[in-house]
Amino acid sequence: MVIIGTGEQGRVVLDILLSRGFKPDGFLNISPFEKEEVCGFPVLGDTSSLFRFKEGIVALGDNLKRKEVFLEARSSGLLFVNAIHYSAVISGLAKLGDGVVIGAGVVINTGAEISDNTILNTGAIIEHDCFISRDSHIGPGAVLGGGVFVGECSFIGLSAVILPDIKIGNGVIVGAGSVVTRDVPDGLTVKGVPAKPIKKNV
């Protein structure tokens, strides 16, 4: 098993895997010569070495870069594992995709669906019947009410609150501490209480 990405998210994923008794073979850099080891685990090359490994997970915080590397790894034939912290609480009626990172204290309730290559960070709460699309990132302490839909490559900031049945579009950024009370169209950054658009994302 290999962790792809040697930065902060890579160390988080390492910690999650170790918490469950899994010991990865090591890491891959995103570009050559970034690091030689991470927390005592060797760096075994860069993404050109993906073909050498059967299983792994992409550990990058940036949604677009994580998507790019995930697709590259999938095309190389890599099988994706999920990194689920031992303290997470996940309903048996929830569904998880491939290559999902679920941090300490996360709660995923009944009927929720978490798509491929998604990060649910420390203490996030995903209520019943939410749908989190692929390549998205739910920040620490964020709370999604029942029936929330989050589009692809969206980021929900630290401690943000999304009210029930709200739809968040693709490529959306929700600022830290915001409270989202209405649907957010594709490609917007919103923040505040209640959250309001502040810019169009490139």
Global pTM reads 0.94
Q: CATH assignment of 2-80, given 1.20.120.140, 1.10.600.10, 3.40.50.20, 3.40.50.1950?
A: 3.40.50.20
User: What is the per-residue pLDDT for 33?
Assistant: 62
Distance, in Å, from the CA atom of 122 to the CA atom of 125, rounded to the nearest integer, reads 9
Distance, in Å, from the CA atom of 86 to the CA atom of 180, rounded to the nearest integer, reads 30
User: What is the per-residue pLDDT for 202?
Assistant: 66
Q: Residues 107, 89: contact at Cβ < 8 Å?
A: yes
| Identified catalytic residue from 67, 85, 128, 134 | 128
Q: Which CATH architecture has domain 83-189?
A: 3 Solenoid (2.160)
| 128: annotated active-site residue | yes
Q: Residues 80, 116: contact at Cβ < 8 Å?
A: yes
pLDDT-flagged residues of the chain (< 70): 32-34, 202
Burial code (b: 16+ CB inside 10 Å, e: under 16) for 130-165 equals bbbbbbbbbbbbbbbbbbbbbbbbbbbbbbbbbbee
CATH 3.40.50.20 domain locations along the chain? 2-80
Tell me which amino acid residue 22 is: F
User: What is the per-residue pLDDT for 31?
Assistant: 74
